[in-house]
Amino acid sequence: MDREAIGTENIHAALDALLNLPPLKKSPQLSAFLTYVVRESLAGRGSLLKSYTIATDALGRSSSFDPATDAIVRVEARRLRQVLQQIYADPACPLTVRIDLPLGRYEPSFRQIAPAPAGAPPASPEDPALDGVHESEQRYRALVEASAAVEWRAGPDGGLTQTFGLSARTGLCDTNLQGFGWLATLHPDERARIEAQWQACCQSGTPLDATYRVRHRGGQYRWMLGRAVPLESADGAIREWVGTMADIDEQVRAAEALRTSEERLRLALSAAEMMTWDIDPATRHVTCSDMGSSLFGATSGPLDEFLAMILPEDKPRVLATLEPALRGEGPYDAQYRILDHEGRLRWLSARGSLVPGPDGGFRLIGVACDITSRYLDPHRTGGQRMSA
């Protein structure tokens, strides 16, 4: 039954009665939520109800509210649905108009109901199988809301039929997003690639797993992880697609910053003729950066193999600082000579310290610098060439 048949006054009366019931009376947040969406709907603005307007107009959030990072509206909507369901499930409920908040949208629905007669027994339970489906659906919705993910559904051809949360992120109405309208929200650099990948998935029935940037309501693009799986009919044909979008922007940017930092470090080490290394004290296994190939002919191996390249007269001095460092008794600091894997004499300066490792143990990490040129420079050595 539509709202015109019920009457605006009756709906307002039902709202007032709901707000005076204990479950809502003790929750100003839910009362404000319900009051706002009902009044906006009765004013003809129900289709405009979005997370942003509910958060800022009803729940006290500031104008900087971002539904992509703050799930308050989805969480409160879920709570409100549960409270309304409990109220109307009570056999003693005196209300004659039912107000619900349908899943997937914030515009309320209204329905005329008959109050239960006095002393009536509780309503008989529904089909247990249907109860199980409903409970599973509720759990799934709660999981999506808690993860602040976007859920969507598409037809066999890939055109979107429903979205839950995408409108709040992009600022576009559901009508503009449905079908293939959502492609307009993708970054221009990824639009053609994702469209082609999605079409290939729809033709082959292969699940989608893709990353791409989506334009949010503020105009900025954020990285999203999109996944979808096909649901098949009894005959094996695809009935629909169910998918999610998860915001992974922070992870992507952090990974990119790490790659940039590592590349800068690599270039700096290369320019300074330096090598990074680490030693596992438990296994005495050495791992070093690429420069290890030019010095030792390898970038990993047993510690004894690397120590064997040190000139015999320098090795005691190296071990005197290395072994205590491996036990955590102080830093490692040594200058020494090696015969590299091509038999050339090299001078190295190495420093390191013991640090906790990711597996709960410790590792001795440090850097080594090729300082051979200092001893071969006549301006530094008085014209005398250092030798073994």
At 125, the pLDDT band (50, 70, 90 cuts) reads very low
Q: What is the distance between the alpha carbons of residues 211 and 295, in angstroms, rounded to a whole number?
A: 41
pLDDT at residue 17 is higher than 70: yes
CB 324 within 8 A of CB 238: no
Residue 310 CB partners (closer than 8 Å, separation 6+): 318, 336, 337, 338
Give the model's confidence band at 388: pLDDT under 50 very low, under 70 low, under 90 confident, else very high. very low
- Residues 197 and 223 occupy one common structural domain: yes
Residue 262 lies inside a defined structural domain of this protein? no
Cα end-to-end distance, the chain, whole Å: 99
Strand, helix or coil for residue 8: helix
pLDDT of residue 66: 81
Give the pLDDT score at 137.
Answer: 53
- Final residue of a structural domain among 127, 145, 163: 145
322 within some domain: yes
pLDDT of residue 151: 85
CB-CB contact of 77 with 144 (8 Å): no
7 shares a domain with 109: yes
Q: What's the domain range around 170? A: 150-252
194 and 208 belong to one structural domain: yes
Q: Answer yes or no: is pLDDT of 129 > 60.
A: no
Residue 139 has pLDDT above 90, yes or no: no
- Check residue 340 and give its pLDDT: 86
Among 145, 175, 200, identify where a domain stops.
145
Q: 9 with 129, same domain?
A: yes
DSSP, collapsed to helix, strand or coil, labels residue 178 as: coil
Residue 7 forms part of a structural domain = yes
Confidence of residue 324 (pLDDT cuts 50, 70, 90): very high
pTM of the model: 0.46
* C-beta of residue 123 within 8 angstroms of C-beta of residue 108: no
Nearest alpha carbon to residue 108 among 43, 163, 25: 43
Residue spans of alpha helices (H) in 327-371: none
Over residues 296-305, the pLDDT tens digits come to: 888 899 999 9
Output 119 or 130, whichever has higher pLDDT.
Answer: 119
Question: Does the structure show a pLDDT above 90 at 323?
Answer: yes
C-alpha 8/C-alpha 6 separation (Å) is: 7
For residues 248 and 297, state if they share a domain: no
Q: Do residue 140 and residue 34 come from a single domain?
A: yes
Query: How many domains does the structure of the chain reveal?
Result: 3
State which of 57-61, 187-191, 206-210, 239-243 shows the largest mean pLDDT.
Answer: 187-191
Give tens-digit pLDDT for 327-382.
Answer: 999 999 999 999 988 889 999 999 999 998 777 789 999 999 888 887 765 544 44
pLDDT, tens only, 81-102: 888 988 988 888 888 899 999 8
Vertex 43 angle, CA 41 and 44, to 5°: 65
